[in-house]
Structure formats: structure tokens, C-alpha cells
Chain A
């Protein structure tokens, strides 16, 4: 193998000869190119072409930012459609050193990470299914859509399944005093099919649906 080892006969010194300076310069240079120039140029161009999306697809109502089209938010009141369970947590407002449940905390995305045989997971699913049936006036043995009782990966899932939305429609219509057909029509309007006809599954954007409900309800709920 003498033909290959010509360069190595002088040992490690000749191998590393002249590398130290280029190695250090390359670290700084490519940090500037890939870590600063590339993201900054992208930011500049993106904000000219798509200023709305670049800032987070925010929804403004009556001059106030009410959320992002892409990020789910927590709905507990009966007059709104509810999103999927979320296990995100946040700092306790009374004691910031403690962490408490805070569903749809977009400052700290989180999932349960519980495995299929986890007792905690099964207990939680049982409890959510019970609460879902009670809230929506379903029979105690009525099947519940899986997305309504399982926590999403991000804790910020903006969508629910069409099956889930339809089961909640009766409750929402009753509390709001709207005809069920109106509410179901709104659900249909806010159902997206597969993207470009092939990708993903049908889904309903909960925040957009609830905004449409508010717009359709002449007398908004008192808290608004």
C-alpha cells in the first residue's frame, strides 16, 4: 500500500498541515452564510411575497388579534365547537414556579407521549368519552369519534373530524338558538377536503368555524 501512504509517511503532522486556519475560518464563514445571510434573505423575500403567512397567519376581528388560522385554541363554553383534547401545560399564574394544565398553550407545545398500554392514557380516554357523551346528550354507550378523546401531537391541533363536528352541532345550535340546519351548513362550509384532491383527510377548522358562528349569531353571547 506504499503508493497510497506517501502523504502519511510523515505521520499525523503532515496530515493536519495547513488545516487549522481554514477549519476555523470555514466555521465562521459558513455560519455567516448559512446561519445569518440565508435566513435573513428568506425573511426579506417571504415578507414581501406572503406578509400575512410570514407573520403567523393571524386573524384580526374588530381590530383585535383573536388567534392564528393554523393554531388551535381552547374552547370550553357550550356555544362553541370544541377542539381535540390538548395536554399542554403552562406556568401557574399564582405561582410561576409551578406548572399547571393549560390546554392549547401555544408557547409550549406538548403531547402526552403515553404508550398504547399506559393506564394513564386509558383512564384519560374513558373520562373524555364520558364527558363528551354527557355534554352532547349522547347515549351512555354511543360510539365517540377517536379524535374527540385523544390528545394531538402538538397540543395545538386546529382541526377536528367531520364526524366529531356533526355530533357537536346539535348542542351548539340549541345553546345559540340557531336552527340545526344552519349550524350543519356552517360545518359543511368549513370542511376542507384532501388538498389538491389527494393529500390528507377531510377536516374542520374549529377556530374559523366558531368565528363564522359568532358572525351568524345576531346577538353574540354576553361575554363578547
Chain B
């Protein structure tokens, strides 16, 4: 127990320390006027003018169309995979609906996988489709956050920056350098990095064991730095080749939190209100710790149904104990709980344990974090989502005290509130709408691995994960059907672009406003009081929206487990 808490404290302290370093670096990246030689070459090759000032509409349009081109390229490569030479295992091309799902999944930073990595993707596809899309989707999110913050920080401005510059810099100055260094650390710890497809071993008992290898380390770094989450192997970061040691597990956790947490500092720096950044960081951290405590205590307590079989789940010097179904021994309960909380907080979606086999309350945590979608959140979009809620909070409080709401010294008016509400509502609309649709579709039953409330949770989890651009799963669900591939693919696109574009609009509208001087009636948004109100609004809005659905899934399952009911 003490050892577990020490690990939590250590890892979160390092995370907080990195906020300074990376936060400063990203601020420099977004505000520096100078382009380096690689970047200048890139602009020339693309034929774009780095000095072009883009309105939010232009910025959003470039984002959308370049993403569309990248998704299309990924789709085509997956469709022709079998004709590209060099794969010793001759893996077949993906079907049209599966390739659509995969390309949509990776361009939206979701990384939902309806396929299993080792049997369906060649090393070429793992690099040129998966690693590529992971990098550009993360860069898209971070760039959008840059444009968004720039919009909020300006007054009477018509533009929010240049998308090509933000995007290119994020790739060359941020993602690739970190990923390259980290990949070497990963290989040192045992993650393979080779162009071979397999190694064959003859086991001690004389069986033939086929070990799938490939360029895993270079994928694994961007997978977590980019809050992507899609695994090289079917079992993702539970697979020893993706996550061989507690140290790699720790680095995965820190990688996932790196950019989302540091963006709060960048935000504070760029709007010249450092305290505001820390107020947001505090809001993230408070929610994170609450969820961590819940999943850790539930998994530590284990599965009460195992007691009758005489299974020892106690934590002792000789075993970590707890609910170990679907978990890896080298991580135990503490490392696993922290990973579970992080992967759905930062909407990465990689898993180092099977979420479907978590205890009901443990499994509620990832679903709830994805529903809120702003406990740190994904690269770029997490901060944007939190600011969405901050504006909503300012608005609600303004209504209550009868004053015109202000945020960052600017009046919040009807037009931007409409955009905010569009972003806030698109999320539950997609999750609950598609879940309802799937529940009414008779063929859904055939896809379920678990019956009873857990079966409902599988479906709810799938659309929550897709919409929140997370990508993890209650993997009992067989989602590789035309219905699920298509609807989850749509949920991912809605969840990504219908929250990102309205918020770019907010940034554009706010940039055009003039500031109003602070008066005695101004509500300060950088105080602990405001942080408290913000968390409160996030939880109330999330709770009111999603509690009925959660009650039908994990909550009723928890009660049934305590009463000894099985399915």
C-alpha cells in the first residue's frame, strides 16, 4: 500500500516538473517568429506562405482538408497492403469498411482498432499508415490548441495564426525529437525495433513459438506522446513487447500526460496570465486524483466472487494481489490503476490491462473520464475542452449574479455561447444516440462477449471511446462488423471535428473583441474558487447527461456483483 502510494506520488511529481519544461518549450514554438531551415524547406515544398494570417475559418478549413487528404492516403495504403512487397507474412489488405474505420480512427487521434495488429498489418502499414497518422493527428490537435490559445490571447485581431506553421513546427520541434530519443530508451528496455516480421523459437517443452516483431518502439513512442493509443499488437500495452518493464509503463504514463498537462502552462504564458494556467492544471489534477482513488481501491479490493474458490487476493510481501484477471504481473495493481486512469484521462486509449475485466467500479472510471473528456484530455483538445467548460462556468455564474459574463477580459456573448453549446452537446449526442441505435439493432447481441449489464457497458464504452477519440475498448465486443465499423467511424469524426471546429470559431470571435477593464464585479477565473466551480460544472453537466446510462451499466453491475449474481 505504502509502496503503491509512493509510486503514485513519484510519477505525478515528475509529471508536474515536466509541465514547466515542456510548457515553456511549446510557448516558444507557438510565438517564435523565426523559421528554421527544415521548416522553410517544407513550406517551399508544400507551396504555402508561412506569413499568411489565417482567420479561424481559413485555419479550420486547412486543418480539415489536410486531415482529409491524410486520411485518404492512409485508407488507400490499407486497401493495397497485400500488393506492397516486403511482408514475409503476406498479410491481406483490409476490407473497405475496416479500412474506413482504421483511417478515420487514426486521423482523429482515436486509435480504435477493429483489427488485430499482428495478424492484419504488415510492417510497412505499421510505419507508413499507423505511425504516420499517429504523428499527424497529434500534431493537428496541438496545432489547433496553439491557434485556439492565440485567438484567446489577442484583441481586435482578425486572424489566429497560420495552420501550416503550427503544424510543421509541432512535428519537427516537438514530436519527432522526443519520440526518437524515447524510442531508443524503449529499445534499451526491450521493445523490438526491426524490419523483420517474426522470430521463431523452439520452446523448452518442444513447441514452436512464433514471436511477432517489427518497428514497435518507434510506434510506441508517438502512440503515447501523441495520446494516440493504437497498439502494434492486439493486446496493446499489455503485450510484453510493447511494455516490457515497470519503467516503460511509467514512461508511457508520463508520455501520455506530457503535452496535455504542459499545455496549461503554455496557455497561461501565451495569455500572459500564468495563474490561469495553474488554475486549469489544478482542475485537471483534482479530477484525476479522484478517479485514480476510485479505480485503485476497486482493483485492490479484488473480485468478491473469487472468495468462494479460495483465491488469495490479499497484498503481501510475496504477491501484489488484487483483481488480476486481464492484468500483467509486472505492473500489479498500482501501475495498472495509474495507467487506466491516465489512458482515458489523456484520451490515449492504449491499455496495459483489459478494461473489460476491471471490477465494475474500476471499469466505470475509464467510461466516466471519457464522458467528461477533459480530465487532462488528448493532445491539444483536452485543454480546448476544458476552456469550453470554463466559458460555460463563467456564463452560468454570470447568470446567477446578474452580470455580463467575462472571460480573459472579454465579454462572453450570445454568438460564442452558441458555439460552446454546440461543442458541449455534440459529445453526448453522439455517445448516447449511437448507443441507443446499437441497442435497438438486433445484430448487436451477436457481437457481445458478456451478457447482462456488462454487455450494455461494452456497447456504451465503444461509442464513448469513439466519440471521445480515446480508442480503448471493453474488448469483449466484436466490433469488426459493417454496422459497428461504420457507426463508430462516424462517432469518431463527429467527436473530433464537431468539438474542434466550434471552439476554433470561439477563438476567432474572441480574438476580434476588445478587452474591457476589470471592475469590482469581475469574476476572477484564476482563483481556487473558480477552479472549484469549474470542476463542479464539469461533473454536474457530465453527471446529468450520462448518469442514467452509467446506472444501466457499471453501477447496476456493481450491485449485482455484491449480491452474487452472475451472467
Binding site for B on A (CB under 8 A): 1, 3-8, 15-16, 18-31, 33-36, 38-43, 45-47, 49-50, 53-59, 64-77, 80, 84, 104-119, 121-122, 125-126, 129, 141-147, 149-164, 166, 194-196, 198-203, 207, 210-211, 214, 223
Contacts and interface: CB of A to CB of B under 8 A. Distances in A.
A126 B310 CA distance: 8
B97 interface: no
Nearest to A14: B58
A113 B239 contact: no
B310 A153 contact: no
A35 B56 CA distance: 29
5 contacts: A7-B57, A30-B135, A153-B353, A156-B239, A195-B246
Interface string B181-203: 00110011111111110111111
A19 B329 contact: no
A72 to B, nearest CB: 8
B284 interface: no
Contact of B557 (A45, A115, A119): A115
A143 B305 CA distance: 14
B329 A147 contact: yes
B278 interface: no
B240 A156 contact: yes
Nearest to A119: B566
Interface in B69-128: 69-70, 72-73, 116, 118-119, 127-128
Given A111-B238, A118-B454, A146-B313, A106 B212 contact: yes
A75 B512 CA distance: 68
B354 interface: yes
Given A35-B132, A46-B183, A53-B190, A68 B450 contact: no
A161 B320 CA distance: 8
Contact of A4 (B46, B55, B310): B55
B474 interface: yes
Contacts of A200: 245-246, 249, 330-332, 335
B171 interface: yes
B443 interface: no
A149 B307 CA distance: 12
Interface stretch (B215-223, B481-489, B528-536): B215-223
B304 to A, nearest CB: 8
Contacts of A41: 180
B247 A199 contact: yes
Contact of B46 (A25, A56, A107, A109): A25
Interface residues of B, number: 144
Contact of B132 (A30, A71, A152): A30
B282 interface: no
A118 B116 contact: no
A152 B158 contact: no
A54 B187 contact: yes
A106 B180 contact: no
Contacts of B250: 199
B465 interface: no
Contacts of B404: none
A119 B360 CA distance: 15
Contacts of B7: 198-199
A198 B335 CA distance: 11
Given A70-B244, A203-B329, A46 B193 contact: yes
Contacts of B522: none
Nearest to B246: A200
A22 B192 contact: no
Interface stretch (B16-24, B59-67, B421-429): B59-67
Nearest to A141: B310
Nearest to B320: A201
A96 to B, nearest CB: 13
Contacts of B511: 4
Contacts of B567: 117-119
A132 B484 CA distance: 40
B359 interface: yes
Given A126-B309, A201-B335, 7 more contacts: A23-B62, A43-B194, A58-B199, A71-B241, A113-B450, A129-B309, A151-B325
Contacts of A55: 192, 194, 196, 199, 213
Contacts of B199: 55-56, 58, 65, 68
B310 A144 contact: yes
B45 interface: yes
B184 A80 contact: no
Contacts of A34: 131-132, 135-136, 171, 175-176, 222
Contacts of A54: 187, 192-194, 217
A82 to B, nearest CB: 11
B164 interface: yes
A154 B235 contact: yes
B326 A112 contact: yes
B518 interface: no
Interface string B142-178: 0000000000000010100000100000010001100
Contacts of A75: 204-205
A110 B116 CA distance: 10
B276 interface: no
Contacts of A30: 70, 132, 135-136, 171
B10 interface: yes
B561 interface: yes
B47 A27 contact: no
Contacts of B322: 146
Contact of B328 (A66, A145, A154): A154
A216 to B, nearest CB: 14
Contacts of B45: 25, 29
Contacts of A45: 184
A4 to B, nearest CB: 4
B213 A164 contact: no
Which of the listed residues A45, A75, A151, A198 has the most CB atoms from chain B within 10 Å of its own CB? Answer: A198
